[in-house]
Chain A
Amino acid sequence: MSTSPVTSSAITVALAAHAPDFSGAVSPSWSSDTDEFLRCVHVRQETHDVKTFVLAADEPRNFRYLPGQFITLELDINGEKINRCYTLSSTPTRPDLVSITVKRVPGGVVSNWLHDHLQPGMVLGAMGPSGEFSCFRQPAQRYLFISGGSGITPLMSMTRALHDLGSDADIVFVHCARTPADLLFPEELTLMARNMPRLRLAMVCDQHTPGSHYAGHLGRMDAARLAHIAPDFLQRDIYTCGPAPFMRVVRELAAGAGYAMERYREESFSFESLPAQVAAEIPGPQDRPELFPADSVPAFQVKLEKMGRSFSCRGDQTILQAAAAADIRLPSSCSSGACGTCKTRKISGQVEMKHAGGIRQREIDQGWILPCCSRPSSDIALER
């Protein structure tokens, strides 16, 4: 196997600063309690709008985390401190570095800043790792990994780890993207599949890219396609990560097929604009703009019965956001599910609600929702 020559002296210097002493003792474990900063040491352009940022501690450190977990980055953007959670796309079996893989979201402050400004040599505040979504918590023999867009990151981390450990786990790895040009890590996945005889890959794209040699599935994930790709999925532990509407489809497919849902796991994320102090309290990656492709999301009708108004709301928008876009002013304050000011009775329809304590379970049971943190998964009628 040939080694790739180091072509840039700048990179040589950066690597030297972070190169562990492979002949010495194992580096101490990284802990955000003591090493609160990570330095960007390398940037990879994965696709036209996705980059991987490789991060290291300034002193040699061993990164210990469960594949699938995330870290929280504290960024200083235009004088404002912003926290964002990013899944580690790297594997702890290569413990000297970590990486995050970020999709540029149109209008997304943080993803655009990372894409435009984060260069090797720069430091970032970091906390974590944390998160529950990992097949290493409950190892199984057979898995179905289903990823949508940059939701591939935790599943990539898990697969990389299983690969490096020489695992003989039986994995069906499904990766869905908009076009073949948006597929992430296709070459590396192919290489891992070659090394792991029981890893099978299935790519699913919404549409073809003209001129691409792509020959995988075309269209959406549905029951027929799932049965075709993984006919034995009822026997597999399912791990899903992707945009909320995508995960909902997968979840409903599984539930509809009589799948034992206690073996179904997905990486949930919700709040887009929580006040910092609330966001800090909620465990889990609340804000992951890399998982929100703005297009290809279904839209639903929201009807306000008393006001006699209707408007359209995309599956990745909150009802409050869509109402504002339609020039309808609903009572609201925190926009994050904490204060309950927007509480409204739902007459019909289904929503996905991720609140922050502004509503009680018994109120939810009685049909109340908080439009500021509810996204539609069907047409909705509200008592407003």
Chain B
Amino acid sequence: MTHTISAQSLLTRELLARRRPGYSLEAPFYLSDTVLKADMEHIFGKHWIFVAVEPQIPEAGDYITVDFGTNSILIVRDDDNQVQAFHNVCRHRGSRLCASQQGVVGNIVCPYHQWTYDLSGKLIHAKHMGEDFDPSHLSLKKVHVRNMAGLIFICLAENPPEDFEQMAAEMTPYIAPHQLSQCKVAAQIDIVEDCNWKLTMENNRECYHCVSNHPELTISLYEYGFGYQPDEHNKEGLQRFQDIMAASHKRWEAMGLPSREIDTLDDRITGFRTQRLPIDRSGQSQTMNAEVASKKLLADFVDPALGGLSFWTQPNSWHHFMSDHIVSFTVLPISATKTLVRTTWCVHKDAVEGKDYTKENLTAVWNATNDQDRRLVEESQVGIATGAYEPGPYSPFTEGLVEKFCNWYVKRLSALIP
């Protein structure tokens, strides 16, 4: 058994070592169960993973479960309103504790034999266990959890990367003005993509494909926002975008909304990137007409034209914070060739459906875009699996952030794999 694992490690090591910078990854990274196992153990097992937004558990006792790979994690708001995370596994005989994706608990009770844990994870009731039974060693296994201005991250490692605090210090001023904790979840949609999770992430990190594939998204999204090769035809458009960006940043910064780019995607363990990007047309929101989807704006905003604060994290999330709503994406591997993409739309908690917003209008752009992206990554998965695939070159103009994702991934896995 030990030999098998080392052989697998060696294989993965060799693949990592021969990765050619500036080129897509070799096929086994997208196909192999061995690599997926390494991804789960080292990437998803030892980094901060974005899993939920605070409005999913607005009140004490609200819980959600998040499953990825072979993990099931229970995230619950305790009676002090703090977010707690545990392995969703009973300390008795291992039954999963909460089977629903979300719900309400008083205490956490195993459905099998009613072992009961309080919301700090302490075992407070177990019948028939005798006089000598010591419940103090049978608390639920805790998982590190951080709530960054309403974004909930977990880390399964015993010693999580410490640079999360650095990200939180830098990002909180960007995110906090949108007051995510004062929002409600207006919609949440899960889709399963038949592809490796890295294809989902790589696709997210470029907009090379946007103009041809995302007619709905590009109503509001400037195609210039993610790298572009200048030429005679686009010279004017590019210049105009840069002028709008400079003017917008000046205006937003003056309003107390940090806007300038921060990019630590491949030079930190907890890599991330952020920038507040202008929105086309009326400049308001990622909708079918670029106007706000919810008339009730977030926080104390009065100006609907705040662009979109984008925030991307390694290894598995991206978010867009606008004046009227916030849309968050979490990517969770199911297997080497199946990936869950969970999209969550939040609006102000006092916004009234049917009056201030409709779910249909709020979700229209990203529902369409997600579906288009799903087809793109699934076709990639099929092509990569044919055997004719070999790594191809990234565009130095439009795929720099894909390269940063792969570079981060290869560096992190190389550093952690035995």
Which residues does A use to contact B, with CB under 8 Å?
275, 277-278, 281, 333-334, 336, 338-341, 355-360, 362-363
Contact = CB atoms under 8 A, between A and B. Distances in A.
Contact of A340 (B59, B109, B135): B109
Contacts of A357: 79, 106-107, 118-119
Contacts of B109: 339-341, 358
13 contacts: A278-B125, A333-B116, A338-B107, A338-B118, A340-B105, A340-B106, A340-B109, A357-B106, A357-B118, A358-B106, A358-B109, A360-B61, A360-B106
A338 B109 CA distance: 9
A194 to B, nearest CB: 50
A338 B61 contact: no
Contacts, number: 56
Contact of B59 (A333, A356, A362): A362
Contact of B114 (A277, A339, A362): A339
A333 B106 contact: no
A334 B59 CA distance: 25
B125 A333 contact: yes
A334 B127 contact: yes
Contacts of A358: 106-107, 109, 116
A334 B116 contact: yes
A341 B113 CA distance: 10
B171 interface: no
A3 B412 CA distance: 87
Contacts of A362: 59, 104
Most-contacted residue by chain B among A338, A341, A359 (CB, 10 A): A338
A338 B108 CA distance: 9
Contacts of A360: 59-61, 104-106
B124 interface: yes
Nearest to B79: A357
Nearest to A339: B116
A336 B124 CA distance: 11
Nearest to B109: A339
User: How extensive is the interface on chain B, given as a class?
Assistant: 10 to 19
B294 to A, nearest CB: 25
A100 to B, nearest CB: 28
A359 B109 CA distance: 11
A335 to B, nearest CB: 9
Given A339-B125, A355-B106, 12 more contacts: A278-B125, A334-B127, A338-B124, A338-B125, A339-B109, A339-B114, A340-B106, A357-B79, A357-B106, A357-B118, A358-B109, A360-B104
Contacts of B116: 333-334, 338-340, 358
A278 B122 CA distance: 11
Interface string B53-70: 000000111000000000
A190 B227 CA distance: 93
A256 B107 CA distance: 36
Most-contacted residue by chain A among B106, B107, B119, B127 (CB, 10 A): B106
Contacts of A334: 114, 116, 125, 127
Contacts of B125: 275, 278, 333-334, 336, 338-339
A362 B107 CA distance: 14
Nearest to B61: A360
A281 B61 CA distance: 18
B126 to A, nearest CB: 9
A133 to B, nearest CB: 23
Contacts of A278: 124-125
A333 B114 contact: yes
A333 B59 CA distance: 26
A275 to B, nearest CB: 6
B132 to A, nearest CB: 13
B135 A277 contact: yes
Contacts of B127: 333-334
The 4 closest A-B pairs by CB, nearest first: A333-B114, A339-B116, A358-B106, A334-B125
A360 B119 CA distance: 12
Nearest to A336: B125
Contacts of B107: 338-340, 357-358
A70 B127 CA distance: 29
Contacts of B79: 357
Contacts of B105: 340, 360
Nearest to B118: A357
Interface in B323-379: none
Interface in B90-135: 104-107, 109, 114, 116, 118-119, 124-125, 127, 135
A249 to B, nearest CB: 30
Contacts of B104: 360, 362-363
A123 to B, nearest CB: 23
A327 B278 CA distance: 71
Contact of A359 (B59, B106, B119): B106
Nearest to A275: B125
Interface in B376-409: none
